Amino acid sequence: MGALNPKRIAVFGAGAWGTALAIAFSPRHQVTLWGRDAGHITSLTERRSNDRYLPDVPLPHSLAVTSDFEATARGADLHLVVTPLAGLRSTVAELRRVQPDTPLIWACKGLEAGTGMLPHEIVADELGDDSRCGVLTGPSFAAEVARGMPTAVTLAARELDFATAWVQALHQPRLRIYANGDVVGAEIGGAIKNVLAIAAGVSDGMGFGLNARAALITRGLAEIARLAAALGGRAETLMGLAGMGDLILTCTGDLSRNRRVGLALAHGKRLHEILAELGHVAEGVPTAREVVQLAKRHDVAMPLCEAVDALLHNDRLGPREVVEQLLSREPTRE
**∠ CA 69-70-75 to the nearest 5 degrees?**
120
pLDDT recorded at residue 334: 67
Q: pLDDT: is 4 or 35 the higher one?
A: 35
* Domains of the chain and any CATH numbers: 8-181 (3.40.50.720), 191-327 (1.10.1040.10)
pLDDT recorded at residue 155: 98
pLDDT recorded at residue 316: 74
CA distance 94 to 75: 15
pLDDT recorded at residue 185: 98
pLDDT of residue 1 exceeding 90, the answer is no
CA distance 193 to 196: 5
Chain segment 121-140, per-residue pLDDT in tens: 999 999 987 779 999 999 99
- Does 296 qualify as catalytic in the annotation? no
Catalytic site residue from 7, 109, 193, 269: 193
What pTM did the predictor assign? 0.93
Instruction: Please provide the average confidence, as pLDDT, over all residues in the chain.
Output: 93
The per-residue b/e assignment along 143-161, b for 16 or more CB within 10 angstroms, e otherwise, is bbbbeeeebbbbbbbbeee
pLDDT recorded at residue 2: 43
Give the pLDDT mean for 66-87.
97
Chain segment 277-286, per-residue pLDDT in tens: 987 788 999 9
Beta-ladder partners of 214: none
pLDDT of residue 333 exceeding 80, the answer is no
